[in-house]
Every structure is written in structure tokens, then in C-alpha cells.
A and B are shown apart, each in its own frame.
Chain A
Amino acid sequence: ELKVEQNPLFLSMQEGKNYTIYCNYSTTSDRLYWYRQDPGKSLESLFVLLSNGAVKQEGRLMASLDTKARLSTLHITAAVHDLSATYFCAVDRRSLDSNYQLIWGAGTKLIIKP
């Protein structure tokens, strides 16, 4: 069974600091996704990582994928308050009928204090 674990689940940090969120998954998968969710809002796609060694950056966020280690990281550089949100990673699972699903991590709630 494919499982996706994120850590930490909760992170409170100061503005200007750097930090990393980790996403581990239990079996081989082709793709990994990072999403952001603001309180009371829907999920917004941040990054799609399609291969081993993939690295993508958008502003102060950078995501990477190591398929051999079954690990993805979301790195936050010089955090600002606007990045406060819950971040989810998700991994593809191909079911027996060839229908793809996303298996989701529990989410990391990030609070950035001024």
C-alpha cells in the first residue's frame, strides 16, 4: 500500500528564516505534487515533479525529488508571512484498472511570524 508521510506536521517560524518540509513515500511512483491550501480555501497546485533529480523553484519556494530515496523536499528561503498556509504533497498511484489517483500526505501547517 502506498503511504505518504510529511514532516513536520506543524511548523512555526520567524520571517527571514529558511526551512525544509519533507515528504516520504513508501513505494515507487512516477510523479510527485506539492499543493498549498490557505485557511478555508481550496488547494492550489505549486509544483509537479516528474523525474528523479527534478528541481523546481517559484519565488521563495523550491521543490526537489529523489525517487531513489523516495523523498521530496519543499525548501522555504527567507520566509515571509504570505507563505503561511498548509502544504500538501501527493504521489501518483496507478490502480489495477489503470486509473491514476493521488495519495496525499497529511499536510504541514506552516505559520510564519513577523
Chain B
Amino acid sequence: ETGVTQTPRHLVMGMTNKKSLKCEQHLGHNAMYWYKQSAKKPLELMFVYNFKEQTENNSVPSRFSPECPNSSHLFLHLHTLQPEDSALYLCASSQLYPRGGYEQYFGPGTRLTVT
């Protein structure tokens, strides 16, 4: 595997379900991100992990719970979602320092539909 991978690619879940999204980066980066992309809306940053520690949580509802067990893996745990949470969820990684550059590399995304 190369780059950033995400599973599953598509997910349909009911509002009472619990599911998890998985992201893995094979680039040796030290930062990982979750984004939400809804139709006709700008890209929304949800969570940032820097060296496995969460450093940003942009007012995301508690029904979304991130987990970063190591610098290569990132999870987004989902429970009691609402239909408006249906979106494309993108994972990204970057190398913050020492080399910098800060370019983010994205996974293919998980298309989530909440019924």
C-alpha cells in the first residue's frame, strides 16, 4: 500500500448504528487530519492529530469521536449520526517538521450515507 488509504470507501448506516472509519498513511508523516466535505460546502476540518496528540477540534459534535493510536493510523468513530452528517469524509496526512512543507496528502475518502 502506498500513500493514504481509507476504509470503507462507502458506508450506509442508520441513525442508531455505531461504525468506524479507518485511515492509514504510509508516508512516514507526523500529522493526520479528518475533513468533512458536503455538497456545495467548503472543505471542513474536523480534527488534527500532531504526533498522535489531538491539537484541534473544530467544534465537532460529540457523535464523532477520533482516535489516533499511532502516527500511521487514524480512526473516526461514529454513533447516533444525523442525516445531515451524510458526506464525503477525507483523511489526510502531512509532515509538519522538521522539514516542513506542510503539503497534505489525501486518502480516497469514505462516502457516508446516514438513513
Residues of A within 8 A of B (CB): 31, 33, 40-45, 48, 88, 92, 95, 97, 99-102, 104-107
Q: Are the CB atoms of A45 and B105 closer together than 8 Å? A: yes
Q: Are the CB atoms of A42 and B106 closer together than 8 Å? A: yes
User: With the chains together, A44 CA to B109 CA distance in Å?
Assistant: 12
User: With the chains together, A33 CA to B104 CA distance in Å?
Assistant: 9
Q: How many residues of B contact A (CB 8 A)?
A: 22
Partner of A99, one of B96, B106, B107: B96
User: With the chains together, A45 CA to B4 CA distance in Å?
Assistant: 13
Q: Are the CB atoms of B104 and A45 closer together than 8 Å? A: yes
- Contacts A104-B42, A104-B43, A107-B42; is A97 near B55 (CB within 8 Å)? yes
**Is B21 part of the contact surface with A, judged by Cβ < 8 Å?**
no
Closest approach, in angstroms, between the C-beta of A111 and any C-beta of chain B? 16
Q: Which residues of A contact B105 (CB under 8 A)?
A: 45
Residue of A31, A92, A100 with most chain B CB atoms under a 10 A cut-off? A100
Residue of B94, B103, B105 with most chain A CB atoms under a 10 A cut-off? B103
